[in-house]
Structure 1
Amino acid sequence: MPYAVSQGGWLSLVLFVLVGAVCYYTGTLIERCMRADPSAIASYPDIGQFAFGSYGRRAIAFFMYVELYLVAISFLVLEGDNLDKLFPGASFDLLMGYRMQGKQLFIALAAAVVLPTTWLKDLSVLAYVSAIGLVTSAVLTASLVWAGVAETGFHRPTNVLNLSGLPTSLGLYFVCFTGHAIYPTIYSSMRNNKHFSKVLLISSVLCGLNYGLTAVLGYMIYGDDVESQVTLNLPAGKLYSQVAIVMTLINPLAKYALLAAPITAAIEEKFSLPAGSGPARVAISTAVVVSTAVVAATVPFFGYLMSFIGSFLSVMATVIFPCLCFLKIYKAEGIRRTEIAAIAGIMMIGVFVAITGTYTSLQQIIRTF
């Protein structure tokens, strides 16, 4: 978030609020799509099936799984960068004189740690660890305050608006609210799903406040020199730096298996393998972990990867698909003209961000090789 503000300038935070509002509204569209036929719709791909048949299901499933795969990669990149910051200069000698060191070494270690968790049949234990995210987010923000007060102080960067950096900022802002793929699962699991929109509103506001506070604090401390991960700016050896980095490391290790599980299940289904088969699950999940580790070791820049995920994949899942499915499902019943106009405007924003953000992030990734 601090990096996103450094790219787009202070005024880009207005767009952050707009993105949050848009994602909340498209979340309510998913809820309304779920209500169209609760017996037939239980997942996001089911909405695509209900609206557009098998083609809709395949399209939504494709973007879902690719997004999950890239987020899994970003988790390993996050681990590698921050562990390298925590333990600089670490290396390990392998056979035939090959040496692993720095970021690549820690990516491999992180992959080795999460690998056994992907073999589990029941991931419900790991799901509880998600609650730790509430604590880690608060502690990370507190660490930034500590860094500003004890070390560098707070400043007022003069970057008010940078049009060339807005595509990157918008892509990162969309990543903040890209939970739409699991909204149908949450909706179906609620005791009283009539309160879904209220839960979504409260969650969006709380997340927005947390993201916004982190963005302002990080940018006021480090200005335009802020790294794509603000923890990389924290001075080495300081207690608050170590606390912040450790907090940043916890969630990816626990949540990686939750991301890999749908990918593994989809591959099993694709090749008609027995669901939950031990050897098949172990082999497929191991291949997923190894492949993400290899890609993570070659990804040059965390911020550009996240911007690509937000611009291309998250925009499709959070903006384009909910709008298209809602219009298709409720077209026959009639939709108010004002709502059609609002949806059309939202889709135009989504298309703009998808095109400009994807082009910019891919260009930046290619340049850094």
Structure 2
Amino acid sequence: MSGKHHNNLTLKVPLLSKWKLGHFRDDEEKVIASHPSNKNAISFFRTCLNGVNAISGVGILSVPYALASGGWLSLALLFCIAAAAFYSGILMKRCMEKNSNIKTYPDIGELAFGKIGRLIVSISMYTELYLVSIGFLILEGDNLSNLFPIEEFQVFGLSIGAKKFFVILVAVIILPTIWLDNLSLLSYVSASGVFASGVIILSISWTAAFDGIGVHQKGDIVNWSGIPTAVSLYAFCYCAHPVFPTLYNSMRNKHQFSNVLIVCFILSTAGYASMAIIGYLMFGSKVDSQITLNLPLNKISSRIAIYTTLVNPISKFALMATPITNALKDLLPRTYKNNRVTNMFVSTVLVISTVIVALAVPFFGSLMSLVGAFLSVTASILLPCLCYLKIFGSYSKFGFETVTIVVIILVAIAMGISGTYISFVEIVQNLQ
């Protein structure tokens, strides 16, 4: 669908649809992804930086483990999931262009299914973003404790081990980035995250080629029992859809958003596939849920990869947490909404809560698999497809597009159920 036709759709918004969205707002500003002022509207390039940073997340460390779980043939599933996630992103864009009052992901759910739709979308997206943020802290704790093993010590009668100490330390470092609420400023933070992802791939490739590890593992063609885990982790790689409305509304030229998605998905998927293949060839079935935990610590290239890995969560945490903090701020009384001290307090409480959960459930691979199977599949594939069918009435038209979307929905449901069950069982077993 061309950009010109999209604009025509926007101009022909039914008054009833506008009323549906406006009725529940009560004139309150929905700050999750509100239209920025002209001075804060950001360029195509900066939007791409934010988009690649959001999509190409810490999943880059777990794709070798995903490939090892499912075998070589499961790599095809990565590309299938990437294609489905890209298409659902396009569907979200069409929904946002259908009604100019749509500013957030929950708005799309409300336009499609009313208050119930808003509630379901809100719960799924905020839970997903929250758990991804927790995964960032777990990753930091695992890698830092691997680099700098320290002995357990006591603080106010509590035993603090290396992982717990580093999770808390990283949270303190990340906190100032949560206080930023301008995506134009966050794009500079995102640039460091995109650069870090590239450095990680190059460093690990260097370790394989020149530091004695090599790429000698043959691996399995397919491992049917591990396919649900592989699919869940692949889906986790594309869990950025709740951020898309924020990115869309922050753009200076919104008609270019489709091109932004193309750039972001191509670059991110190329990075994921490269890392999966290199990591699996290096360590085979023995690869850990984070490939950095397999790297020899006495090699400079390995240390560069690990140190750079530590930059990624710091650069991405704010982008993922911003929709949550803005939603929490929106619940405050009007007199406190724009209070800087109050906003900082809300952001700080959110970070503290993620630390508590990260310390209680420190299982990166299982947690990310659960996020991918249940939440990423729901928020990034299933809900955009369902909302699009309802908003555009496509479910009543039996055409190629409708058939394609229905197939995606059915496959997503099967992926979600099987992956969620396996991931949940793994977490319960680890807690025992």
Q: TM-score, normalised by structure 2?
A: 0.80
Which residue in 1 is equivalent to 2:187? Answer: 127
Which residue in 1 is equivalent to 2:219? Answer: 158
Is it true that 1:25 corresponds to 2:87 in the alignment?
yes
Instruction: State the alpha-carbon separation in 1 of the partners of residues 186 and 94 from structure 2.
Output: 30
Contact 1:91 1:105 in 2 (8 A): no
The residue type equivalent to 1:34 in the other structure is M
Which residue in 2 is equivalent to 1:95? Answer: 156
Residues 158 and 253 (structure 1), Cα distance of their counterparts in 2 relative to 1, 3 Å cut: closer
CA positional deviation for 1:258: 3.1
Cα shift readout 1:258-282 (whole Å, capped 9, x = no counterpart): 3333222222333436213234323
The residue type equivalent to 1:126 in the other structure is L
CA positional deviation for 1:148: 1.1
Which residue in 1 is equivalent to 2:133? Answer: 72
1:134-173 mapped onto 2 (5 Å cutoff): 134-149=194-209, 150-173=211-234
Which residue in 2 is equivalent to 1:107? Answer: 167
From 275, 280, 283, the equivalent of 2:342 is 280
Pick which of 219-228 and 137-146 moved more: 137-146
Contact 2:78 2:231 in 1 (8 A): yes
Which residue in 1 is equivalent to 2:422? Answer: 360
Which residue in 2 is equivalent to 1:324? Answer: 386
Instruction: State the alpha-carbon separation in 1 of the partners of residues 130 and 274 from structure 2.
Output: 29
From 344, 368, 371, the equivalent of 1:309 is 371
The residue type equivalent to 2:171 in the other structure is A
Task: Give 5+ residue unaligned stretches, structure 1.
Answer: none
From 113, 123, 142, the equivalent of 1:62 is 123
Residues 25 and 258 (structure 1), Cα distance of their counterparts in 2 relative to 1, 3 Å cut: closer
Contact 1:265 1:275 in 2 (8 A): no
Instruction: State the alpha-carbon separation in 2 of the partners of residues 138 and 279 from structure 1.
Output: 37
Which residue in 1 is equivalent to 2:290? Answer: 229
Instruction: State the alpha-carbon separation in 2 of the partners of residues 182 and 113 from structure 1.
Output: 23
Which residue in 2 is equivalent to 1:257? Answer: 318
Residues 190 and 312 (structure 1), Cα distance of their counterparts in 2 relative to 1, 3 Å cut: same
From 397, 400, 403, the equivalent of 1:341 is 403
Instruction: Find the residue that maps to 1:40 and give its secondary structure.
Output: coil
Contact 2:395 2:402 in 1 (8 A): no
Residues 75 and 333 (structure 1), Cα distance of their counterparts in 2 relative to 1, 3 Å cut: closer
CA positional deviation for 1:298: 2.2
Instruction: State the alpha-carbon separation in 1 of the partners of residues 282 and 219 from structure 2.
Output: 13
**Count of aligned pairs between the two proteins:** 367
Task: Give 5+ residue unaligned stretches, structure 2.
Answer: 1-62
Contact 1:304 1:361 in 2 (8 A): yes
Instruction: State the alpha-carbon separation in 1 of the partners of residues 359 and 120 from structure 2.
Output: 29
Contact 2:183 2:250 in 1 (8 A): no
Which residue in 1 is equivalent to 2:413? Answer: 351
CA positional deviation for 1:112: 1.8
Instruction: Find the residue that maps to 2:212 and give its secondary structure.
Output: helix
The residue type equivalent to 2:342 in the other structure is A
Which residue in 1 is equivalent to 2:67? Answer: 5
Contact 2:135 2:367 in 1 (8 A): yes
Residues 208 and 332 (structure 1), Cα distance of their counterparts in 2 relative to 1, 3 Å cut: closer
Residues 54 and 348 (structure 1), Cα distance of their counterparts in 2 relative to 1, 3 Å cut: same
Cα shift readout 1:101-153 (whole Å, capped 9, x = no counterpart): 21111011111222343345556433311112222111111111121121211
Which residue in 2 is equivalent to 1:238? Answer: 299
Identity %: 43
